[in-house]
Structure 1
Amino acid sequence: MDIFEDKVILVTGANRGIGRALVKALLNHGVRKIYATCRDLNTMPSLDDDRITVLSLDITNDEQITTVAVLAQDTEILINNAGVINAGNILEGDLEGMDNDMSVNYFGTIKMMRAFAPILKKNNPSKIINIVSIAAYSPLPSIAGYAASKAALFSATQSVRIELAKEGIAVYAINPGAIDTDMNKGSDWDMPDPESTAVKILEYVADGKFDIVPDEMGQGMYNAWREDPAKLSKIFSDLYYGEISE
């Protein structure tokens, strides 16, 4: 994975879950610098490595995005990991929660790509790695706003991949299934840990794979979708009504 060697990388949502795991994994691959960002620096774990620069960043805050972009002009790889999830279905779910999902997962990530595209063009060859979700293919109704925001992000990622293809910027979409992070706390699903997931993500990126499903659960769902989208919808339907009946 020498494609990460001596690179300068910015990771959003680096304080927990897949973001934190990616930071740790990247440190094992000879990176030159990592900008590790999150909204609340009090939640950032202690990472004893002088290659890490910790920055405060709320990706819905335009001023903070501008500030971080100015400070991180040497960024060569942007990893858009920051995200939120709000429970609720389409007909009865809290609209404020759905709005927050869209503001962070979709518009916040778009704002990051817009702010860093000129930087990445200057520092090319470079990369954007967007952490999306397997829910982008077929939403689970109990997190319908989240799924919709990730479907929108997946579409935007495909679009910006085409836009930036001739600029020396490669754009990757990561669509994990359920991972054992704080977002899925309390679930009784058999989920992989974020550390092994992060390693898989980096391996697939190094192999030049642009649309990545890094875990077995996600791959099973993706394969069902590829065979027939209705099959994945049925999986989510069974999960949804199984949860309701309990």
Structure 2
Amino acid sequence: MFSWFLAVILALYVPFFTHSAKSPFQIVTEANRFPPGLLVALNQLIEQGPNPDVDAHADKDVLSHALIFGSLLPDVIDWIKHARDPSKQKWIHSLISYYFVKQLKQYLPLIHRLIEKAQNPNGANSKYPWEILDDAKAWLDGGFLPRAAQFIKEAGHQTDQDGVDQHDILILAQKLGQQLTNNAINIIQEIPTADKPFQEKFFLFLLLVNFSNYDTYVLLNSILTLKIPIFRIVFNKARFLPTKSSVRSALQRIAESGAMVLLEINSRSS
């Protein structure tokens, strides 16, 4: 269950309206536009929720702070940087109090703590907040923060594929990485566009791949980098049960079949 803290973040960014269920393809396409660091932070924030501790500095905390500050984020970064100058500290604190009393009064302790951390950097986290928040500003400038907030709100929403929610696909995109996710997207959208049964079979397959096994990842990389017509042929023929072990066996067979088709094509052209 989301905390009140996260509910406030979402209220700042996400208007209330209803959606029809999105497809896994729609979700993975949107997720692949995100910078990798933002996707990691987003999944962390969905899984663990925000940390109300102002000393928190994990990826998800950078994102939650950025969502809190919203359009004020560039100002916050400037305040933090200027506050490192002793001659400007009194002026900055007065300015911050004015802005936050008017807009985000409840987060005044957070901004003061971030300034304090910037003024007294130490240890492995000395770059937080004033350098790392620059990454968050890039997320804001790129227009990603409102969509990230929407993903948080809809994380548990089911896609139009049975048993698959939006967060399942966000995690899949993170595991695949941008290049393999892009390959998966191309496999579906290359003309003629893959039909719905193919897409559902494909996403079920990918969701059951064991990414923690290096050999499995190598095999997956080999099949997702096949020429798309070849991949479609061998994948359409593949049969598997909705279990990790069955998918692991199918992955091996698909890789072998793809290699055989390539060998046959090469022998014909030589």
| TM score, norm. by length of structure 2 | 0.27
Higher helix share: 2
Point out the structure with max Rg over C-alpha. 2
| TM score, norm. by length of structure 1 | 0.29
Q: Which has the higher contact order (CA 8 A, sep 6+)?
A: 2
